[in-house]
Structure 1
């Protein structure tokens, strides 16, 4: 029997798959990809280094479950900002002031209140501060969570938030801490670390690196300027640097990579040791150091009622 297939047979097969309209019009009809398919393709091209992984991801991803962690954190930060803006008369300034009397803001004289080491990230000093953090958080965090999952993305984000407050408690204890910069810079640094490890296969690796460094430098420069020039209660910039370092280390630990080369395994153990050592030192410092008095730029707490 001949192994050749007739034109009518090929037409019938492709007609079944809706790839041709008739035997006289035998050509492939490629359907336009949906908006969701385009989004998944863009995420795969930007976040995954290997072509095989990109194709597998595009075929398997269903957005179930959706990237709920970044979305929930973003909504929480917006809600807290709206609450404090409403309490201030419905108006929010572009830059500050920080609600230093908030039970969420980190202050070294309130470091025994352990929740402050994390909750400071939902309070922001003005809508400009909030807008920058949310923009980077959504632009980088959503694709990362879509590729690596909510648990891994949350681990990187919270490691940056915790690293920022621990670093501020050791290096800059005279200031308060507010904003999600620690978590945002952790996400950004983790993504850049993944791009650098797979630099030869990532698209526009050099452009991406230069753009991220330019944006981060401007933001950190603004934070340093505000730290030393404003008369208002200063806000530490240590969270930016510590969050980026935490993202580099934890990102190497928890984010999935295309290959497991020997030098990457050694780098994995080095990152684990560095993060564990820094975290342990900061925790012991906070436990063993003397309590901090009331910060000099804050009014004293009101005396308790006499109770006549």
Structure 2
């Protein structure tokens, strides 16, 4: 505890890692000069002057050395002085990797990320893609308003846009990706934004922007390809392929780190809620319910605008298959190397099958070769 009586846990392996080092120095502990040199050179999470002050406070008997107990006090003082942003990072990372999980070096994974996280670059990919989707939505909302068909909660998506996926214009290959920028009504946009930001940013903090870019975009592409296989006659709009790729990636992370994510998982409510079984159950129920509603609306409700649902399935599958080789793995086991290559092969086979389906299947609507996207007068 610190001087205010607050307790700051230091991780399950703290004593085993540091106590033997202090025992080698004898009862007085490690000289302050050596402690100061190591911390100032290797810890940039706290300003240097503040770190010097914390070291001075930790040396309670003023003998110029830090005993093991004084070192514990120093580490607790350091944790108390973490910036608000670092505490935010800790909370976000804990939603992806629960506390108690240890890496191949025996270090607490969350603490290791906090110690080395520099926010360079910041987690901007999910924010940037969300901003772009919002801007595109606003632009088309203005266009539709001028046409006399304003956007509502559940309607409002121009089918003549060069961005929406149109099964009659599959030769315009960019539509297999650009449909993610279009949304049917503002609720569609809002739910996708909330979903991808709440799930995507914590993932990006841990796994970096370029991994998220790969998973998200390949999920979007897989979503449109899956749509062409299962629901060939409807338009496709929305970022659900990318959102479900994030769910699939989360599944991949849990599967590849199952042992670490079940570490003492029954030891307290928080660890239980963040454990692998609970995560899998939660996302399975959420995704299943959402897909079920989408299928029901597609086939059992007479709606004027049918928008495909199969992108959810394609995105989730891509997120799982691509997430296994792309996302970080806490501990790499031999069997996981096999799964690594199997996942890549399965994804490539899926893409190859879908491409061939698009080439040879005869049940698509007649190809529309007319010039699209005439400017509004």
> Considering the TM-score relative to the shorter chain, is it more than 0.5?
yes
CA distance in 1, matches of 2:248, 2:214: 13
Counterpart in 2 of 1:258?
A: 330
CA distance in 2, matches of 1:16, 1:44: 26
Counterpart in 2 of 1:222?
A: 293
Shift of 1:283: 1.4
Shift of 1:294: 4.8
Question: SS where residue 167 of structure 1 aligns?
Answer: helix
Q: Which runs of 5+ in 2 are unaligned?
A: 1-24, 37-51, 63-68, 262-273, 373-377
CA deviations on 1:51-103 (whole Å, 9 max, x unpaired) are 62322211111111011211110001111111122223295312124321111
Counterpart in 2 of 1:306?
A: none
CA distance in 1, matches of 2:113, 2:286: 29
CA distance in 1, matches of 2:324, 2:288: 22
Counterpart in 2 of 1:240?
A: 312
Counterpart in 2 of 1:124?
A: 183
Q: Is the 8 A contact 1:109 1:291 kept in 2?
A: no
CA distance in 1, matches of 2:164, 2:320: 25
CA distance in 2, matches of 1:169, 1:116: 12
CA deviations on 1:106-133 (whole Å, 9 max, x unpaired) are 0110100011000000111112211221
Q: Is the 8 A contact 1:156 1:190 kept in 2?
A: yes
Shift of 1:206: 2.7
Go from structure 1 to structure 2 and tell me whether the alpha carbon gap of 1:35 and 1:288 turns closer, same or farther (over 3 Å shift).
same
**Counterpart mapping for 1:46-57 below 5 A:** 46-48=95-97, 49-50=101-102, 52=107, 53-57=109-113
CA distance in 1, matches of 2:356, 2:124: 34
Question: SS where residue 201 of structure 1 aligns?
Answer: helix
Q: Is the 8 A contact 2:232 2:363 kept in 1?
A: no
Q: TM-score, normalised by structure 1?
A: 0.85
Specify which of 115, 120, 124 is matched with residue 64 of structure 1. 120
Q: Is the 8 A contact 2:257 2:331 kept in 1?
A: no
Go from structure 1 to structure 2 and tell me whether the alpha carbon gap of 1:32 and 1:286 turns closer, same or farther (over 3 Å shift).
same
Specify which of 148, 153, 164 is matched with residue 207 of structure 2. 148
Q: TM-score, normalised by structure 2?
A: 0.70
Go from structure 1 to structure 2 and tell me whether the alpha carbon gap of 1:18 and 1:101 turns closer, same or farther (over 3 Å shift).
farther
Q: Does structure 1 residue 92 correspond to structure 2 residue 144?
A: no
Specify which of 25, 36, 39 is matched with residue 85 of structure 2. 36
CA distance in 1, matches of 2:91, 2:302: 42
Q: Does structure 1 residue 267 correspond to structure 2 residue 339?
A: yes
Shift of 1:288: 3.7
Counterpart in 2 of 1:159?
A: 218
Q: Does structure 1 residue 211 correspond to structure 2 residue 274?
A: no
Q: Does structure 1 residue 17 correspond to structure 2 residue 89?
A: no
**Counterpart mapping for 1:164-203 below 5 A:** 164-202=223-261, 203=274
Shift of 1:292: 4.2
CA deviations on 1:205-254 (whole Å, 9 max, x unpaired) are 23322222222122212211221223313111100011101111000011
Shift of 1:274: 0.9
Moved more, 234-243 or 54-63: 54-63
Q: How many residues align?
A: 294
The alignment yields a C-alpha RMSD, in angstroms, of: 3.1
CA distance in 2, matches of 1:250, 1:45: 22
Q: Is the 8 A contact 1:192 1:209 kept in 2?
A: yes
Q: Is the 8 A contact 1:15 1:22 kept in 2?
A: no
CA distance in 2, matches of 1:167, 1:200: 32
Q: Is the 8 A contact 1:106 1:116 kept in 2?
A: yes
